[in-house]
Amino acid sequence: MDGLTRRLDVVQEKNNFILDILKLSKILKLITTKRIMGMILLVVICSLFVGCKRREVRMKTGAILDRKNVAVLQATDVNTLISDSGIVRYKIIAATWQVYDKADTPHWEFPDGIYLERFDIDLKPDATIEADYAYYDEPAQRWLLRGNVKAVNLEGEQFETPLLYWDQKSESVYSDSSIVITREHSIIKGVGFRSNQSMTQYTILRPTGSFPIKD
């Protein structure tokens, strides 16, 4: 009887040992699974982080590339003389002056309006121009003036147009828009205009009327 009891105890111990092994196996599997999941989660987090970093780098690179569209200099309340080859050519008065030296076409902009006063060789004013907006193409040396453009020559004749170009290389002023010229005794209207820089010799391409000014 005692021998049978001992054999039963041995079998029970073996069963308990097997159960312990099974439990340990499950625990190890659970730990392994958690480790694997943790590693996968870590890899995913790292991937997202790297992806964000890459997007951040791309965004920063894009911002750097866009610097050519950002003014390298902006001045306010401008009142200055502009010289060329050591000779004063004209005076600029403007609320805002933006310089885009890094742009594909280096240029100046005057978004808040401009007043230009041109000087002759003796440094005497021979023409003035004002406009709501101005753009100066540096390589071409050409001005674009837009919005309520008014120019006055030395003789006091006033030219009004929505758009005017001043080409310094060809020393000409021109427009393909409507033009109104107010002289001492008459008003001339037309479309299209060509003139010299001092605006003393000009032609209206398509005159639409001439009206006397009554005293």
What is the spatial distance between Cα 110 and Cα 137, in angstroms, rounded to a whole number?
A: 12
Average pLDDT over residues 78-104: 90
**Phi, psi angle pair for 138, to nearest 5°:** -65, -50
Confidence label for 93 from pLDDT (cuts 50, 70 and 90): very high
For residue 181, pLDDT over 90 is answered with yes
**Domain definitions of the chain by residue range:** 2-66, 71-212
Confidence label for 33 from pLDDT (cuts 50, 70 and 90): very low
For domain 71-212, the question of CATH label 2.60.450.10 is answered with: yes
Confidence label for 128 from pLDDT (cuts 50, 70 and 90): very high
Q: Is the pTM of this model over 0.75?
A: no
Average pLDDT over residues 158-176: 96
For residue 172, pLDDT over 80 is answered with yes
Residue 80's DSSP bridge partners are 92
Per residue in 54-63, pLDDT tens?
Answer: 444 444 444 4
Any idea which of 48-57, 87-96, 101-110, 115-124 has the lowest mean pLDDT?
48-57
What is the spatial distance between Cα 207 and Cα 102, in angstroms, rounded to a whole number?
A: 42
Q: 154: Cβ–Cβ under 8 A, 6 or more apart, which residues?
A: 125, 126, 127, 198, 200
∠ CA 189-191-193, nearest 5°, is 95
Average pLDDT over residues 16-40: 45
Contacts 24+ apart (CB under 8 A), 95-98: 97/73, 98/71, 98/73, 98/74
CA distances to 94, 107, 117, 209 from 76, rounded to whole Å, are 7, 17, 18, 41
pLDDT, residue 66, reads 59
For residue 2, pLDDT over 70 is answered with no
pLDDT, residue 209, reads 83
